[in-house]
């Protein structure tokens, strides 16, 4: 897939998955590392040290011990939404400066170095360079945030009730959905004002997701049949 031309202020769906569909997140530490990298690498300036200590109990990734004299980040992109799944990720990005997305994703590629070192492996971790699609049509734009945030339903194996399914999505930690509905998760990662202005506040977004799950996954017993590779094309119908 050829890359689109990245233009400032435009929005792009960026994604990739593990080589040979392998899992790229094996433990909480891996998810936390990638989320930390989403924060740390979103900066024009070079990163001097990314080997921070992670405490899985924290629901924030900006280290509390960063020196006060550290300069404010100069963001390359706005991260509007994200989700991390065992073998892939989705990002909804708005480019803020020239080459912002390319530079950000090149930096984010450092996750492979971390993963290989921790797991004593060599070679590529993802299927080539990241994939990107320009969001140019309104229906596509309306669809994408919900597509991204409903992804964890692929690994849901609990009760088939709508309430329990929603509770799972609302508590899935490796997603920006909890922050969009007012549950502090990783609030420093995303820039949420724009999507709130487009789709409403916390209550409205929770209700929209509930309605989507109710209508598009009417037979929740079939959710257990979903796989990580299902692309939810049904959501566009």
So what's the pLDDT on residue 225?
A: 86
CA-wise closest residue to 207 among 152, 151, 166, 160? 166
In a domain, 1, yes or no: no
Residue 47 in 3-state DSSP? Answer: coil
Q: State how far the Cα of 110 lies from the Cα of 71, in Å rounded to an integer.
A: 22
Q: Determine the pLDDT at residue 68.
A: 53
Structurally, the chain folds into a number of domains equal to: 1
Residue 33 in any domain: the answer is: yes
Give the integer Cα–Cα distance in Å for 189 and 194.
14
Q: Within 13 Å, how many C-alpha atoms sit on residue 161's CB side?
A: 4
Question: Is 2 contained in some domain?
Answer: no
For residues 37 and 110, what is the distance between their CA atoms, to the nearest angstrom? Answer: 8
The whole domain housing 29 covers 9-236
26 close to 119: Cβ distance less than 8 angstroms: yes
CB atoms within 10 A of CB 113: 11
- Position 143 scores a pLDDT of 92
CA distance 185 to 190: 10
Which residue from 164, 174, 44, 22 is spatially nearest to 96, judged by alpha carbons? 44
pLDDT value for 21: 92
Instruction: Determine, yes or no, domain membership for 121.
Output: yes
In the chain (237 residues long), the average pLDDT of successive 10-residue segments reads 86 96 95 92 79 51 51 92 97 97 96 95 94 94 95 93 96 97 93 96 96 90 86 63
In a domain, 83, yes or no: yes
Residue 4 lies in a domain: no
pLDDT of residue 237: 42
Question: Nearest-5° angle of CA 111, CA 91, CA 225?
Answer: 95
In CATH, what number is assigned to the domain containing residue 228?
A: 3.30.70.1290
Contact 25, 136 (CB under 8 A): no
21's torsion region: left (phi>0), alpha (psi -120 to 50) or beta? left
């Amino acid at each position: 897939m050829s890359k689109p031309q990245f233009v400032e202020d435009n929005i792009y769906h960026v994604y990739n998955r593990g080589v040979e569909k392998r899992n790229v997140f094996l433990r909480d530490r891996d998810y936390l590392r990638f989320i930390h990298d989403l924060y740390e690498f979103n900066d024009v300036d070079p990163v001097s040290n990314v080997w921070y200590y992670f405490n899985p109990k924290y629901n924030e990734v900006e280290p509390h011990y960063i020196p006060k004299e550290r300069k404010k980040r100069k963001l390359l992109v706005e991260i509007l939404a994200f989700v991390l799944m065992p073998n892939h990720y989705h990002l909804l990005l708005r480019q803020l400066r020239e080459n912002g997305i390319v530079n950000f994703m090149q930096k984010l590629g450092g996750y492979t170095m971390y993963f290989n070192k921790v797991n004593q492996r060599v070679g590529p971790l993802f299927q080539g360079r990241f994939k990107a699609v320009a969001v140019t049509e309104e229906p596509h734009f309306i669809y994408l945030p919900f597509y991204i945030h409903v992804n964890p339903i692929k690994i849901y194996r609990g009760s088939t009730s709508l309430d329990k399914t929603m509770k799972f999505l609302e508590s899935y930690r490796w997603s920006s959905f909890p922050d969009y509905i007012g549950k502090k998760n990783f609030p420093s990662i995303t820039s949420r004002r724009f999507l709130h202005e487009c789709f409403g506040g916390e209550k409205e977004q929770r209700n929209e997701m509930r309605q989507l799950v109710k209508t598009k996954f009417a037979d929740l017993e079939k959710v257990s049949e979903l796989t990580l590779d299902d692309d939810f094309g049904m959501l566009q119908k």
